[in-house]
Amino acid sequence: MLAPLAVSVQTRKHPEARRSSSCNAAVCSAVGRGYGTAAQEALAHYLFQTTLVERLEAGTDVDNLAEQRALEKAAFQREGVLRHAQYRRGQWHDLVRYGRLRDDPVQ
């Protein structure tokens, strides 16, 4: 029997922020066209279909409303705010955490 697998996609290290994070980048002309939502949905579908992962986690800055909407459209549920979770550009920033379980309904 295989043990559950935890997956973390780390694309960039932020030494100033003292943490590693996944990174989503969009070309300005693509913003607002649903590509972020489609990417989140495709990654979640792939991981749930090809691994034993039970839970996916995502996070974004509290001011990044577009990413929050994309995560919610991709069936991630807002789970809370981590206060002063990231230090960048000389100040602390709060992060919103999201989670999606294998059994969560997809809208």
Contact 106, 66 (CB under 8 A): no
- Higher per-residue pLDDT: 10 or 96: 96
CATH code, domain with 44: 3.40.630.30
Asked if residue 5 belongs to a domain, the reply is: no
Asked if residue 81 belongs to a domain, the reply is: yes
Q: What is the pLDDT of residues 32-89, one digit of tens each?
A: 666 778 888 888 888 889 888 888 888 899 999 988 998 999 999 999 999 999 998 9
Contact 94, 81 (CB under 8 A): yes
Total domains in the chain come to 1
Distance of CA 55 to the CA centre of its chain: 12
Task: Quickly tell me which residue has 């294998």 as its tokens.
Answer: 102
- Domain of residue 67: give its range: 12-101
Task: Assess whether pLDDT exceeds 60 at residue 24.
Answer: no
Asked if residue 3 belongs to a domain, the reply is: no
Asked if residue 28 belongs to a domain, the reply is: yes
pTM of the model: 0.70
Asked if residue 7 belongs to a domain, the reply is: no
Contact 10, 17 (CB under 8 A): no
Asked if residue 94 belongs to a domain, the reply is: yes
Alpha-carbon distance 59 to 79, whole Å? 10
Distances from the Cα of 52 to the Cαs of 4, 38, 58, 95, 105, in angstroms? Answer: 5, 22, 18, 27, 18
